[in-house]
Amino acid sequence: MTFTKEGNTTLLVVSTVLIIINTLLFLLINNVIILSIMAIASLLMFFFFLQFFRLPTREIVIDENKIYAPADGEIVVVEKTNEPEYFKDERIQVSIFMSPLNVHANWFPISGIVKYFKYHPGLFLVAWHPKSSIDNERTSVVIENEKKQAILVRQIAGAVARRIVWYTDTNEKAKQGEQFGFIKFGSRVDLFLPLDAKIHVNLKQKTTGKQTVIASFD
């Protein structure tokens, strides 16, 4: 287990504030019980923030026919829908909701070339809101493999998540299982897959990034 660099500033601010508060209490209050409670509460708060930025070490079996989960979370959507941004046709949408307790890193589901990337500033509706996929702050990444099979991965910020981070751009190589982004404090990741993709997950199923097979190419 390691921790992503995206948490450095947040953790520095949180730890500094907690140290100042506890130092002031130590100077102003002469009560061992209260000081002990505050010290324990401060440690718990620090570890609460720390877990947001954990980055687990996971092995992946590279398979060009499999589409792996790009995030930890729970399947909240599996349906046919129109994808209006890039494909402009009907696709199978699979959405993963990332709670504040999930790992917030995002990984490439397949290998290939990033054919399209775009960042959209937007709102911060709750992640399960029907319009969050088109109105919220989000990124769209289209990856095309060697067989010209393409999928779209969309990072979506929610009511709590206020910053999306990405490490990729158009025409760059994508490697299955490699981290391509991070959503601070969780949110949602949508996948738009070809209609002939075979889906291997169900609603409310838990997913593990780089491990759960979402679908496979026909």
**Contacts of the segment 8-16: beta carbons below 8 A, 24+ positions apart:** 10/49, 10/52, 10/53, 10/184, 11/46, 11/49, 11/50, 11/53, 14/45, 14/46, 14/49, 15/46
SS3 90: strand
- Distances in Å between the Cα of 126 and the Cα atoms of 99, 142, 162, 187 are 11, 24, 11, 8
For residues 79 and 93, the answer to whether their CB atoms sit within 8 Å is yes
Token digits for 202?
């169900």
Which residues are known to be catalytic? 187
Please count the helices (runs of H) and the strands (runs of E) in the chain.
Answer: 3, 16
